[in-house]
Amino acid sequence: MQLFTETKLGRLQLGNRVVMAPMTRSRADNGSDVPTSIMREYYRQRAGAGLIITEGTQPSADGKGYCRTPGIYTGEQVSAWRDITDAVHAGGGQIVLQIMHCGRVAHGANKAENARTLAPSAIAAKGDMYTEQGMLPFAEPEAMTLADIEQTVADYKQATVNAFAAGFDGVELHCTSGYLPAQFLSTGTNQRTDSYGGSLENRLRFVLEVLSAMCSVEGADRVGMRICPGNPFNDLHDDNHEETYSALLQRVDPMALAYLHVIRMPALGLDNIGLARTNYHGAMIVNESYSRDEAESELDEQIRAVSFGRPFIANPDLPRRFRENLSLSKIDMKTLYTPGEAGYTDYQAG
């Protein structure tokens, strides 16, 4: 099967095409955002993946949205991540850091005391989010000044520098799920009247500047980007997401990224993979609820790998189980985000 053959994504060399998708697991230290020892064990157990893409990791204290998510902006965080990348590499794996700035998808109860909640416009997301104090409404964000935007682009660049210092093989820009990059792209969240809002070209500007900053560190062939056009998660709305993402991908295509990570959403009638193929010609990873056999049939010259989320939680040896066509263990959804080892590092290899 092609799933178990080697492939290349930019400078990344994958031993197989079974990728572990980024998944928030909420096991970092909540005070310092430092990755913990059980996180090291969690990723070590899954080093058999052709590539691990980490959970979303904030590039600054301002970028944090959820409780117990890790950062990549202090020396202590970098050192802890180095222990994790060393463990994955010792197991023969490759690992990429997903950089995630939540923007308005946040609450002060989950952040450091002086951290701010920033967004393109001062429009609160509808809904509530989990905090250690219970479910609370999303905070109303501050509209970012030009100085805030400049600093945030610099934060993404420094996070990339820090990721490579921590031993990561690459970095991925989280550009979906209603977080800051998607907030700049979308008409419902970006109502600015300056050079970062209004026209389509202006709404693309922030994402393109962030990508350029990330690529400037070690080259575009160690940078990926994750998208899901039309995803309404976290109260995201764009008047014409197909036009927005088509234009974005046409601008990104010449950058020659390591890969584009595309989440399909057929239940909403969206052909995100088709949209990506039309506007982007580089290597792709595809994601969302693939079976082993369906993943195998999806691979071609452009779609080099398939990422799996929930199956990797309950099956740390997922590539081996796929290869030997073994049954899969079932996930305990109640322990997805709870602190501790239960439902995290206690799933057994078959």
Provide the pLDDT for residue 129. 97
Q: Which residues are identified as catalytic? A: 179
Domain boundaries, the chain: 2-335
Over residues 209-251, the pLDDT tens digits come to 999 999 999 999 999 999 999 999 999 999 999 999 999 999 9
Answer yes or no: pTM beyond 0.95: yes
Q: Is the pLDDT of residue 206 over 80?
A: yes
Confidence at 257, pLDDT banded by 50, 70, 90? very high
Give me the mean pLDDT over the 74-103 stretch: 98
Q: Each residue of 160-200: pLDDT tens digit?
A: 999 999 999 999 999 999 999 999 999 999 999 999 999 99
pLDDT over 90 percentage in the chain:
98
Give pLDDT tens digits for 278-312: 999 999 999 999 999 999 999 999 999 999 999 99
One CATH from 3.40.50.1000, 3.30.160.100, 3.20.20.70, 3.90.550.10 for 2-335: 3.20.20.70
- 3 state SS for the chain: CHHHCCEEECCEEECCCEEECCCCCCCCCCCCCCCCHHHHHHHHHCCCCCEEECCCEECCCCCCCCCCCCECCCHHHHHHHHHHHHHHHHCCCCEEEEECCCCCCCCHHHCCCCCCCEECCCCCCCCEEEECCEEEECCCCEECCHHHHHHHHHHHHHHHHHHHHCCCCEEEEECCCCCHHHHHHCCCCCCCCCCCCCCHHHHHHHHHHHHHHHHHHHCHHHEEEEECCCCCCCCCCCCCHHHHHHHHHHHHHHHCCCEEEEECEHHHCECHHHHHHHHCCCCEEEECCCCHHHHHHHCCCCEEEEEECHHHHHCCCHHHHHHCCCCCCCCCHHHCCCCCCCCCCCCCCC
Give the model's pLDDT for residue 77. Answer: 98
Which pLDDT tens digit goes with each residue over 116-147? 999 999 999 999 999 999 999 999 999 999 99
Residue 63 has pLDDT above 90, yes or no: yes
